[in-house]
Chain A
Amino acid sequence: AQTVTQSQPEMSVQEAETVTLSCTYDTSESDYYLFWYKQPPSRQMILVIRQEAYKQQNATENRFSVNFQKAAKSFSLKISDSQLGDAAMYFCAYMPGGSYIPTFGRGTSLIVHP
């Protein structure tokens, strides 16, 4: 069974600084996708960034980037130049090849201080 672990229930960052959210996963698959979703308060989850396991290059979307360490089964999210609007719950998710069903972690609540 695949599991996704987010060991940080809550993280804080000062506006304009950088924060890294951790995620590890357990799988025996070699083909899979990894995702970070953001859920602002009372809003729906939206996809922030995704990574295909076969790609060695780390995905980047503007201020969001990942550090994908396949051997270590680690998939951390780095948010640069944090903004107040980044405050949200962040969920890491894993989806194996051949499936359309992501498995989620417990989430990390990100607080951004002005």
Chain B
Amino acid sequence: EPEVTQTPSHQVTQMGQEVILRCVPISNHLYFYWYRQILGQKVEFLVSFYNNEISEKSEIFDDQFSVERPDGSNFTLKIRSTKLEDSAMYFCASSEFTGGWENTEAFFGQGTRLTVV
């Protein structure tokens, strides 16, 4: 069964460093997302991406964040200058975009745990 894959599973980085979190969405999906979950808190929406551009973003997704689809398969989240409070589990997800409501399910990866020290 097709699934969303994320790498790495765990990333430790020093404060101020740049990190890139990688995701391979399901191949026929067109709508991509990044969410994050700070330990013990709710899963928060960061950004959605469709047709090679950001579709929606939350107030969390400020200038230190960027997303890219560098080729036909990868979808990346870059955090330019990491802060301690960026430590969280980051989830990538994808869904079909059929224009209808039949395929509204978002499929999630298993997450990348980012630890900023």
Interface residues of A (CB under 8 A from B): 4, 33, 35, 37, 39, 42-47, 50, 52, 91, 95, 99-107
B108 touches A44 (CB 8 A): yes
Which of B11-19, B38-46, B65-73 lies at the interface with chain A? B38-46
Closest partner residue, chain A, to B33 (CB atom): A101
Residue of B nearest to A95 (CB): B104
Beta-carbon contact of A33 and B108 below 8 Å: no
How far does the Cβ of A47 sit from chain B's closest Cβ, in whole Å? 5
B42 touches A104 (CB 8 A): yes
Chain B 26-46, CB-CB to A under 8 Å as 1, else 0, gives: 000001010100001111110
Contact of B108 among A37, A50, A52 (CB under 8 A): A37
Known: A91-B43, A100-B104. A44 touches B109 (CB 8 A): yes
Distance between Cα atoms of A21 and B91 in the complex (Å): 23
Whether B4 and A107, one on each chain, are in contact in the complex, defined by CB atoms closer than 8 angstroms, is no
- Say whether chain A's binding surface is mostly helix, strand, loop, or mixed: strand
Nearest 8 Cβ contacts at the A-B interface? A104-B43, A45-B108, A44-B110, A106-B42, A44-B108, A47-B105, A44-B109, A100-B31
Q: Given B35, B41, B106, B109, which contacts A106 in the complex, CB threshold below 8 Å?
A: B41
Nearest-neighbour CB distance to chain A for B58, whole angstroms, equals 9
Residues in B with CB closer than 8 Å to A44 are: 3-4, 91, 107-111
Interface centre among B4, B31, B41, B110, by most chain A C-beta atoms within 10 angstroms, is B110
CB of A33 within 8 A of CB of B43, answer no
Nearest CB in chain A to that of B92: its residue? A44
Residues on the B chain within 8 Å of A47, using CB: 105-107
Given contacts A50-B105, A100-B95, A100-B97, 16 further A-B contacts (CB under 8 A): A35-B105, A37-B108, A39-B108, A44-B91, A44-B107, A44-B108, A44-B109, A45-B108, A46-B108, A47-B107, A91-B43, A99-B56, A102-B106, A104-B43, A104-B44, A106-B42
Given A100-B95, A101-B56, A106-B41, A33 contacting B110 (CB threshold 8 A): no
Given A52-B101, A104-B35, A106-B41, A43:B110 Cβ within 8 A: yes
